[in-house]
Every structure is written in C-alpha cells, then in structure tokens.
Structure 1
Amino acid sequence: MERTNSRRRKAKGIEASSPADISLMVELTPPRDQSTTAGKPPSWLPNTACYVVVLLIFVLLAAFLFASIEGRPWIKGQNTTTTETHGKEQHHGGIGMVLHPESHVSRPPATLCFDWRVTKAFRSPDGVRKEVYVINDQFPGPTVEARSGDQIIVNVTNLLHDEGLAIHWHGLRMNDANDMDGAVGLTQAPIQTGESFLYNFTIGHDEFGTFWYHGHEKTQRDDGLYGGFIVHRPVEQSDEKEVYDYAQEVLLLVGDWYHRPSTEVLSWYMNSRSFGNEPVPDSLLINGHGNFDCDMAVPARPVQCIPPAARDDLPSLRFDHSHSYRLRLVNTGSLTGFSLKIDAASLYPFQVDGGNSIDMAGAQSIGIVYPGERVDAILLLHSSNSRRELTIDMDDENFKYPNPALTPMQTFPITPSFNDGGGTKSLPPTLDYYNLQAAVFSSGSLDEVMEEPLKFVIYTTTMKLAKHHNIPMGFINHTSWSPQAEPLISLPRTQYDRNQLAPHIALCQKENETAACNEWVEVVINNLDDGGHPFHLHGHSFYVVSVFPPPITWSSEKPPFTPGGSGMYNYNPFTTTSAVSPAGSYNLANPVMKDTVFVPQRGYAVIRFRANNKGIWMMHCHVGWHLGSGMAMSWDVS
C-alpha cells in the first residue's frame, strides 16, 4: 500500500496526453491566446489614441448595460443593491437535464477526456445570492455521460484561493484505480491552488447506472461542487430503453440548500451551543434551481434575495404528456432525505444506486431518497386537464429545531410541451407510496451471499465530551476521523495516527486460495443516535441483508420505535444469532444491492460486500455535517 501519486502538477503548462483512439472529446477548454508578449501591446492597438477610444467605448457600453438591467437583487432588511445576476442554464425548456443515451449505447468503448477548471462565482440558484463552486463556470458541474467500459480522463485544475480540492466518483468501484477515488486523507492529498490532477480510470464492463461526482475535501460538496455521472448500459448487454419502454431520460439532482457558506454552517454545528442539533437547511434545489420566498428570510440572517416577480424565470419541468420518461434521481443534499410525487402520474422505480435492480411497481409517490442515494424510475403521465406539479417533501427527522426560512414541501410546475398529446389513458396506480428503503432485489435468490463471511461490528454516534469542550463530534468505535497530512495510501499502517479506524481485510489470492481466505465481509452498523445515518462505502456495492427497525413496505410511515435506551436495539453477531436478533433472520433470498444504506435511529443495518477490490476505501455518513465532524472510517483491503 506504500504508493505515491505523481499525477499532481502545476496548472501552468498542463497538457493532458490523449490516446490515439480517442473518439469523444468533451468539455475541452480552448487554449488561451498567447500571441502577445508581456509588456508589448497587441498589433491592433498601434498608439495611445486607440487606447482612449477603446476605453470610451467600454465605459459607454457598461453604462448602457447597467441602465438596462432588470430585476436587480436586493438585501432583505438592508438598502444595498447590486447588479449581480443569477445565471441559469436551461435544459429541455426547464430545469430537467435531458440525457443522450443514443450517443453512447451503440458505440464501442472509448476514451473520454475532460478539462475542468474549478473556481468560485456568485450565483442566485433559488433567488438568494451565494458564492458557489463552479466547474468551467457551470453550477452544478458538467454532466458526464459514458458507457460501460469507457476510459475517463479528467484534468482538474484548482483555481481557488487558498483551498485544496479533490473529486470523488460516487458509486463507481474504481477497480485498479484506488488512487483515483478522490478521498482526501485516504487516497490523495488535496489538489493545491494553481495545481492540476489527472484523474484516469476505466468504468467496469459490468458497471452501469446513475452515479454522480462531488468534492471530497471538507464541505465543498455542500456549496455546490458536484455534478451528474451517468453510465449508459450498452445495447449488447440490454436495450434498457426497449425493456422499460421510455422515450427520454431526464436527470434530476435534488438536494437541500443552505444560504450561508458551508464552512460557517459546520462551525455552527461543531459548537457546544448547537447541542448536537444538525443545522436545518434553508431551501431546496433541483439541478441548481430553486424558488425561495424572500419574505421567509430570518431577520437575524439577512440575505440578498431577488423577489420572485423580478426573476428572469421560475424553475419548472417540461414533459410531453404522450411520452414516458426515465427519471434519474440523485440526492445531492447535505442533511435531508426527500420523497417525490407528480400529479396525475405513475412512478415505477426499478433501479437504485447505480444499476441495481429492484422489484418494479407503480406508485403515486416514491421515497425516501437519502443523501448519496439514487433511484431510477419510469414516469408515466395520465390524462388530466388540471395543472400538474412536481412535489418534493423533505424528511424532517433531523430537524431538531425550527427554521422559519424553510418550506419543507416544495412544488415545481410541469409545463406541457408544444406537441403535448394529453397523456395516456391508463388508470392511476393502486399504490400511494413506494418505500424505497423496503425495496428488494428483483431477480430471485442469490447463492453468493450464503458464504460464511468475515464479520465486523461497528458503533456510530455523535458525542459531546467535556475533554473536547462539548463540541459535537462523530465517532465510529471511539474513533473520530480526521485526515492526516499524508494520505494513508502512501503510508505503512504503522504510521496511521489515532484518528484512523482502518480494519485490515486480507485480499484473496485466487492462485493460492486457502480455506481461511474469504472474500465476503459482513459489517453490522449499530447507530446509537436519535437520528438516522446514510452510510456510503467507497469502491464497493453491498447487499443489505438486515435493517432494524425494518421499513414498512408500500408505506411512507416510519416503523414504530420504542424509547428506552439504545442497547436493546443494537446487534452483535458474535453473541447473538441473527434468528433471535431484533430484526430476525437475515434476508439472504433477495436482498437489495446498494452503495449507500440508511441506518435508522437507535437501530442497525447489516451489509455484506465482496472484498475483492484492492485498496483503502472510505466508509462514512453522507450527511455533510456528520462527515465534517468525524463520522468516517476506512477498510484496508490488501
């Protein structure tokens, strides 16, 4: 495991070498014009008079633009104004990002090259001005579309001021590319200001589905450093468009949103005065768009907000009601899970967390999708003369104190396209709600999970200790994680510090396999907190073989929980068999496969994964504030 990474270099003069067989070049930034030399004016400005003329032209143009700007932002409770506008990128006549599988599903594997420059810029995604992270001036970042087997090369240049960064490819296994996983402190050091890093990895031939990428340094994801990553399944494996009978694919990146900088939000949380109560978000974004009511702003926290009447356009979705759609939903949020509903429509979930099949059934609404989780669903619109809306209902489990600025249930209008056929005449679904947390695998029994695994038990909680000044800190087995100066991938285990919990798992050598060598690992995640935790494992997908309290199928109701201490709801497989555990016997017949699992409050989840991917892989709560406070560990598979 002692490796160093030589792909980091100064941004100036970078050139990403491209293989000869590159067939797709995307998001490449044109080279800068270096035809002029320092201290020498360009040839089209021969004398000082021209300088004066050009300067006058720019002054007049600026004055004209300033005078013509409409809908200037305003600061609630203040008199300051500004000409900052909120840039919006339109997709499909609205906020839905339309995907293009036809460009990928029928071609052979290729090498896709991208050149990303990460900066900060002011945007007003929901009407409130905030400094966000942008990639090539885009927020959210560019959507990556590929197919199974593609090689991905991304040259990431850090143009931030005094901030390192790294990019994690959420859900991708990164086989033989552990150093490309983007986990600061584990697989790489942050990309420093003015430097670049070349991410270079190959998508597995059996990998497909809905993924995403996001920043994995401190809290940058929570301020918008993320984007979609879609791996289309090639038609030689399965023609999903024909199998599921949809006309178009639409990506929806849905997540809660905070108006304050994430560093301030985390500082508020990691203070004794928060008492461990998570900061409640202010708003909600879909693909970087929202609709915050300026009158909801808290006077003690004034915001610079554009009144709805003065905004260029309000976020909406556009669908042709005569077509069916594949919705790819991603929860990009920092804290909150969500449920989704569309009026006079049926939703048929069929995949979760990157191409993992689940039992398909039609429902009027689906959820809960927790931070880091994804779900693919078929949308079928019914005949209706009434106004349609998409409704996002934010889960309030971690809302321990009120935030008057937040509207927890938000609606986005659906506008018909010009060739709207009026919708299908099929009847509404009989199910009111599809509980995604109760979903099961759709293809029958799985013999592989019957093997006796190597077992681990972990306990996770948030503690406020006097020796740490009562600051809320996330712990896993008495260890609160923080990154080392040198990433673990470049260190021997003897040099791991006290903040690293990294159990070692022996990698099976197929050519010399013994009875003691077992690829399957079972992890019991016990949650001692009074709020749930969505845990994400890097580099692997896993089967969820048990959850307590068990989710209720086809219902939005959470399972009943009896207060009275946490010990009675924990599970230790070394002292108790699964048959007499709180949740009962494991589901080894049709467990769902995921890479992010929600562990209920005062309960537990049991996962099994095949430890056949060499490397050091992070596992952490995907609530940004819990990760920022130390709720993380790693698995050393070597």
Structure 2
Amino acid sequence: MRFAVSTLLLLASSCLAKTVTYDWNVTWVTANPDGLADRQVVGINGKWPLPVVEVDRGDRLVVNMYNGLGDKNTSIHWHGMYQNGTNYMDGPSMVTQCPVPPGASITYNFTVNQNGTYWYHCHTDSCYPDGYRQALIVHDTDSFFHDDYEEEFTITLSDWYHHMTEGLKEQFLSLYNPTGAEPIPDAFLFNDTMNSSLPVKPNTTYLLRLINTGAFVAQYFYIEGHSFKIVEVDGVYTEPTEADILYIAIAQRYSILLTTKNETDTNYAIVTVADSDLLDTIPETLQLNNTNWLEYNKAAPHNKAVIQAQTSDDLDPFDDFTLIPHDRMPLLPEPDVVVNLTVYMNNLINGFNYAFFNNITYTRPKVPSLFSVLSSGDLSTNPMVYGTNTNPFVFEHNDVVQVIINNGDTGSHPFHLHGHNFQVINRAPGYGPNFNSYLNGDPVPYDPSNHTAFPKTPIRRDTVVLPPQGYMVLRFVADNPGVWFFHCHIDWHLSSGLASVFIEAPTQMQERLTIPADHLEVCRLSGVPFEGNAAANTKDLLDLTGQNVQPGPLPSGFTARGIVALVFSCISAVLGMIAIFVYGMSDIKFKNQYGAAEADASQPMDELPAGVTATGAEVAPETIAEQPSKTS
C-alpha cells in the first residue's frame, strides 16, 4: 500500500512538472551599479542585472545561449545543480565542455530534481566578475517551512570592480605582483545596487534567500534589532536554528526565516560588512560597511547603520559547522578513498604567484576532461590520461570519499565541489573570534589519530571555508558518475590554479553519457579537440607529450639573470651612497651683510651671525630680539 501511494505521488509530481525555457543573447551592455563608474558588463538580451531563473522542483530547464560578446568565449555553470546523468551540462570550460566562442550557440537542458537556493555564472576565463552571474531559485511546495512564511526575497551580495576582469587578471598574474595580492574591489553591491530597501509588513514572516555572487570577498550579514532562523544552506534544509550574524563566503547561500516586529514607525538597517582580512590593502575610498533597509515605513527615516565593530575580527558570526540537516542523514561510513590536499601559494620561474594543491597548480588540458573519459576506453580509470597538471583523482562508483585539506596559506579559501554536496565532518579553527588563531604560528595540519569526534549528523553543503593555516575534512559518496571540478571559488585563486578534477565512475560514464551534437559543434567552432588524453593524443593515451604544463619551479639560489641584477643593484647602491656623501660634505655658501667672507651653513644655528637665518635670508635688525632661540 505504501509503495502504491508513493508511486501515485511520484506520477502526480511528474504530471505537474513543466519545461521552463529561456532564449539568451549574451552581449556587452553598459552599467553603473554603484553610481561611481560606467563600465561594460555581460548582459542578457541587452539588459543587466541578469534575470533570476526560477523553476519548481521536477521542472526541466532549457537555456538556449548565443554568444554575442564578439570578443570573448563563455559558458554557464549551474552552481549547486547535481546534473545527475547530464554531466555535460555542468558548464566549466575544459572540464565538461569546450568554451563557446563568439557567434556560436549552445543549449543547456536538464531536469532539476532538487530544491533550494542556487545561482548561475560564467565558468570560462574568469568572466563572471564582469557581471555574468545571478540567482537560480528552485521552489519547493513540500519544504517543511513552506507554510511558515508569507513572502520571499532573493538577495545577492557581491563585490564589484570598475575595470574589466581581463585587465585585472593580467595585473594579478604578473611579474610585478610577486606576492599574489588580489585586486581590491571598488564597491560592494546588494542586489546589484546600493542603498536599497525591502518593503515589509509588521508581524509577518518572510523567507530571505541570501547568495554571495562575488568573485573574492566574503561578507558578514545582519539586520539591526532582529534575529532570524536558518532553514537552508546551499540547497540543504536544516533544522531551524537561531542566529543574528552570518558569514557568507563567495558562492555560499543561506535561507532564513525573518519575523518582523509589530510596529511601523522605524526602518531597520540591513548591514553587510566586507571581510577586511581578505584584503591586502584598504583604499580610503572603499566602503566596507554598507547599509540597506528593512523598510517598515517608506516615510520614516532611513538611517545609516551604527557599526559597533572596529574590524571584521570583532564580529562573531554563526558557525555553520554546528548546523544539523533536516533529513538527519547520519555520518557516512569510513572512507574507501582518502584524498590529501595541501594549499600553498608560491612563485614559479616566470615570477608569477600561483596557487597549488600539493605541488601542482591546475593547468587546463587540451581536451575537456569529460571528453577524455569518453574517448579513452579501458584506460579511463588511469589518472595519467587526464594529465599531470590537472590534479586528477579517479573514484569507483559509490566509493565513500574523504577529502582532507590542510591550509599552508595565511588566507581563507571557500572550496566548492561540482555535482555534490558533502558532509563537513571536521574543521579548525571554527568561525568566530578564533577563526584566525592559527596565524600565530606555523600551519596546523589535520591529525587523523588525534581529532575531535565527528558529528553524528554533519551539516552538508557544496561550498565550505578552509580557515587560515587550519584544515577541514569533507566526506561524500561517489554516486554521481561525472567529471566534477573541485576548486577555490575566489575567482583570482581559481585563475592562479587552485583546483582539482574528480573523475567519478568513468566506466559508468562511458555507459550512460553521450555528448550532445551542439556541444561537439561548439568544440569544432572553437578549435578545441574533443578526443584523446590531456595532450589530445588519441593513439597513445599514456603519452602526454605536448600537454599544457605549469611553469617550472624557481631554482635554488640565484639564476644567472638574478646574479647580474644583484651585482648592478649593488653597484648602483654604492654609487648612490658616494654621491650622497660627496654632496653632503660640500659647503653650502651664502653671503651676509657683515663682510665678503662666506659662512658655512653647517655650523650650529646658535652660532650663525645675528640677523641671518640658516637659509641665508636676512632678518630686519629690529626683529632679532623677538626671534626665539632655536637649536638643531
């Protein structure tokens, strides 16, 4: 009987499901969201901000995208979508597809069998900071909190640059930026604007969907005079949990239930504070603290927030590690596979600062990794096929995978896994005042023989923050055959190589996946090979001759060019010191009214002739007595 009822419910939901279709012409448009600078941004159908994509759980989403940019490749990643059975629709260029060149079209077509708050963005050559990002909302009338709120708002937080990403990237990955300092944003936006209001009614509960769609900077979020309940993170429903301050890293999402006060005379500040710990410098013109408003009364004052914290370290946000998933999914069993990764930042022979997993900075292959899986036959389970510079890991179908990430860097990193969410079973330090506590000494790695107990029902999400010089441990089941990108979602760090590819169940991929014809046509138009190993070798899949590789390491000691530069620097320094010495010993002469003899200005001030200053200027005799005595 129970089986019959569940079958009827499944059939009923299938009948209600619909196809949601969008036709997008992606072009450049001009925008000025912070009111400070016009700039080109990526628009859709001539408009920006981009459209919020809204579907119901079970719907089929079809997006026909034409690249009308004229000078840039592009793609779309559907952030948080599992793409179970449709790995080729995931969107990252050179991982699951070829980049879409100007003048070409591609169709993304997949069924949305999940619920919650997501977003979409370009995943080709650091293009989404140029405005190609927006919310993707999957409505669910069966959510446990569906009847608890009257209305919902979608809120995007983002950092904003006045200059094109391409130029900023050239400055970032540069010989003149050896420390790897990330470009500093020019502003921080709230729903792609500033100084905006959310009109609310008193004594009413609202669902607020919060998404950080930025490229770099995490933000703190709170509402003056209000607390709220967390009910979702990254598409995973949670037990309702009270909080008053959230830390929302790049690509993370929260859904919160907010009940308004029973009054209409005051508007309350919605406060966002950029995490200044991520910034190497803070320009005087950069406004880190921003105010928008929960508007009870349009006619009432809209006062700026009173920020009590002196720095972001003074804020004490809710620790997402303590959340419990609403479905109470238990801790996964001991892993079949353990992946150990350590984050480093370092310079290579070209002088650029790169990001590394272990000793490898991700360097994209010549063939998209998914296409290498489908064209490599029995060798698809050999990681060598996917190149030595892509950080590839191959998992068997339904392996329990544990990923241990140690942070050898002094910055935090929000890591995102495509195609999955994962259990966060350990992380140190936790959010709050101690988040930067490991910076007081050497990095602290995870010790598998000495750690706190794993939670029995760990929180799951698809983007989690690795603390500075700390560690985290993630666990998931490899039950979704596909090639899944695992990377830091700070776009500057991805562009400098902080990524890996997880090749999951390659044998099942070959049985189940077929690349659509229009995706293959995109490869032909872009001139990207779609068969063979990472070096595009179709004859010997273990021969990687010609693959894309990272620049070589810095040699120990000085290079010949470095020694020459040092010698000439020393010569220049010595000559400069000699010049300063000779100039300093030279007499500075001046005339005085007491005779033809010239006095030496190096004598003490109190020994100069009366009426003469140290610069040789004459002072009227009647004012001499009024001058105070000075010593040098």
Normalised by the size of structure 1, how large is the TM-score? 0.70
Partner of 1:223: 130
The amino acid across from 1:400 in the alignment is D
Aligned equivalents of 2:503 and 2:465: distance in 1? 23
Instruction: Provide the secondary structure at the position in 2 that maps to 1:266.
Output: helix
Aligned equivalents of 1:453 and 1:403: distance in 2? 49
Cα distance 1:442–1:166, how it changes in 2: closer, same or farther (>3 A)?
A: closer
Partner of 2:621: none
Deviates more, 1:112-121 or 1:537-546: 112-121
Cα distance 1:360–1:521, how it changes in 2: closer, same or farther (>3 A)?
A: same
The amino acid across from 2:73 in the alignment is G
Looking at secondary structure, tell me which structure has more helix per residue.
2
1:595 partnered with 2:462: yes
Partner of 1:428: none
- CA drift of 1:448 comes to 5.1
Q: Which has the higher contact order (CA 8 A, sep 6+)?
A: 1
Aligned equivalents of 1:251 and 1:436: distance in 2? 22
- CA drift of 1:138 comes to 2.8
Partner of 2:489: 622
Cα distance 1:620–1:341, how it changes in 2: closer, same or farther (>3 A)?
A: same
Instruction: Provide the secondary structure at the position in 1 that maps to 2:128.
Output: helix
The amino acid across from 1:267 in the alignment is E
Aligned equivalents of 1:349 and 1:199: distance in 2? 32
Instruction: Provide the secondary structure at the position in 1 that maps to 2:363.
Output: coil
Partner of 1:380: 259
The amino acid across from 2:127 in the alignment is Q
1:279 partnered with 2:210: no
CA deviations 1:384-432 (Å, max 9, x no partner) are 5334221111111211222222111111134336799xxxxxxxxxxx9
The amino acid across from 1:180 in the alignment is M
Partner of 2:161: 258
Cα distance 1:455–1:239, how it changes in 2: closer, same or farther (>3 A)?
A: closer
1:468 partnered with 2:371: no
1:110 partnered with 2:14: no
Residues 372 and 596, structure 1, Cα contact 8 Å, conserved in 2: yes
- CA drift of 1:592 comes to 0.6
Pairs within 5 Å for 1:144-223: 144-204=53-113, 207-223=114-130
- CA drift of 1:562 comes to 5.0
Partner of 1:455: 338
Partner of 2:453: 585
Cα distance 1:391–1:447, how it changes in 2: closer, same or farther (>3 A)?
A: closer
Deviates more, 1:386-395 or 1:444-453: 444-453
Partner of 1:370: 249
CA-based RMSD: 2.4
Partner of 2:579: none
Cα distance 1:501–1:380, how it changes in 2: closer, same or farther (>3 A)?
A: same
The amino acid across from 2:200 in the alignment is F
Normalised by the size of structure 2, how large is the TM-score? 0.70
Partner of 2:318: 435
Residues 338 and 394, structure 1, Cα contact 8 Å, conserved in 2: yes
Residues 330 and 458, structure 2, Cα contact 8 Å, conserved in 1: no
- CA drift of 1:452 comes to 3.8
Partner of 1:354: 235
1:561 partnered with 2:422: no
Aligned equivalents of 1:550 and 1:399: distance in 2? 20
- CA drift of 1:169 comes to 0.4
Aligned equivalents of 2:335 and 2:364: distance in 1? 33
Instruction: Provide the secondary structure at the position in 1 that maps to 2:388.
Output: coil
- CA drift of 1:526 comes to 1.1
The amino acid across from 1:248 in the alignment is E
Aligned equivalents of 2:434 and 2:356: distance in 1? 29
Q: Which runs of 5+ in 1 are unaligned?
A: 1-103, 291-313, 421-431, 509-518
1:288 partnered with 2:192: yes
Residues 234 and 463, structure 2, Cα contact 8 Å, conserved in 1: yes
The amino acid across from 2:405 in the alignment is I
Residues 130 and 164, structure 2, Cα contact 8 Å, conserved in 1: yes
Partner of 2:389: 499
Q: Specify which of 251, 270, 274 is matched with residue 390 of structure 1.
A: 270
Aligned equivalents of 2:385 and 2:107: distance in 1? 27
CA deviations 1:556-612 (Å, max 9, x no partner) are 66363352222xx11254xxx2xx14xx2322x121100001000111110001101
1:571 partnered with 2:461: no
- CA drift of 1:140 comes to 2.8
CA deviations 1:260-310 (Å, max 9, x no partner) are 1111222222123331222221101122112xxxxxxxxxxxxxxxxxxxx
Q: Specify which of 223, 231, 241 is matched with residue 146 of structure 2.
A: 241
Aligned equivalents of 1:183 and 1:282: distance in 2? 27
Residues 411 and 467, structure 2, Cα contact 8 Å, conserved in 1: yes
Pairs within 5 Å for 1:5-84: none
- CA drift of 1:543 comes to 0.3
Deviates more, 1:184-193 or 1:105-114: 105-114
Pairs within 5 Å for 1:293-332: 315-332=196-213
**Percent same amino acid at aligned positions?**
30
The amino acid across from 2:318 in the alignment is N
Pairs within 5 Å for 1:92-107: none
Instruction: Provide the secondary structure at the position in 2 that maps to 1:438.
Output: helix
- CA drift of 1:626 comes to 0.2
Aligned equivalents of 2:258 and 2:299: distance in 1? 18
- CA drift of 1:324 comes to 1.7
Q: Which runs of 5+ in 2 are unaligned?
A: 1-11, 301-314, 506-632
Aligned equivalents of 2:135 and 2:223: distance in 1? 22
Aligned equivalents of 1:444 and 1:149: distance in 2? 19
Cα distance 1:146–1:606, how it changes in 2: closer, same or farther (>3 A)?
A: same
Instruction: Provide the secondary structure at the position in 2 that maps to 1:435.
Output: coil
Residues 435 and 467, structure 2, Cα contact 8 Å, conserved in 1: no
Q: Specify which of 533, 542, 545 is matched with residue 422 of structure 2.
A: 542
Residues 331 and 458, structure 2, Cα contact 8 Å, conserved in 1: no
- CA drift of 1:496 comes to 2.9
The structure whose Rg is larger is 2
- CA drift of 1:379 comes to 1.5
- CA drift of 1:106 comes to 12
